Amino acid sequence: MITRVMDEKGWALSTLARRSGLSTSTLHSWKSGDRATGSRGPSPEKLRQLANGAGLTVAEVFEAAGRHVPTAIDDEEERRFLHLYRALDGEDRRVIEATMQAMRERQKSTS
């Protein structure tokens, strides 16, 4: 994907790095297929930075990286979730957080 973006836009790796706020060494390692960024690959935050800097959608970048594509949450859905979460006591909040973490780990392992 990085090579494609550079070719399509006529950018050097340093240009993509500057536009995305990522280091050239990070982009070079991704471009060469080196997974030195960790066993799970690039972090979601860095993938978002790449999308923004390259003018791509987050979904395009996440798919190219072989990652679960995050879905948008609208303000109303987030408000409802937070309202319910805030009404829980500390123990129930910990259960919800543990459940959500387990779900997130399951998604990572299947993508």
Q: Enter the pTM of the model.
A: 0.64
Q: Residues 58-66: contacts with CB within 8 Å, 24+ apart?
A: 60/1, 61/1, 64/1, 65/1, 65/41, 66/41, 66/111
How far is it, in rounded angstroms, from Cα 79 to Cα 72?
A: 14
How confident is the model over 11-52, as pLDDT tens digits? 999 999 999 999 999 999 988 876 555 556 788 899 999 999
Q: Could you read off the pLDDT of 46-83 as tens digits, one per residue?
A: 999 999 999 999 889 988 888 888 787 889 999 999 99
Please name which of 68, 16, 19, 18 lies closest in space to residue 42, comparing C-alpha atoms. 68
User: Which of the two residues, 67 and 99, has the higher pLDDT score?
Assistant: 99
pLDDT score of 110 more than 80 = no
| Residue spans of alpha helices (H) in the chain | 2-9, 13-20, 24-31, 44-54, 58-64, 75-86, 90-110
Task: Give the type of residue at 3.
Answer: T
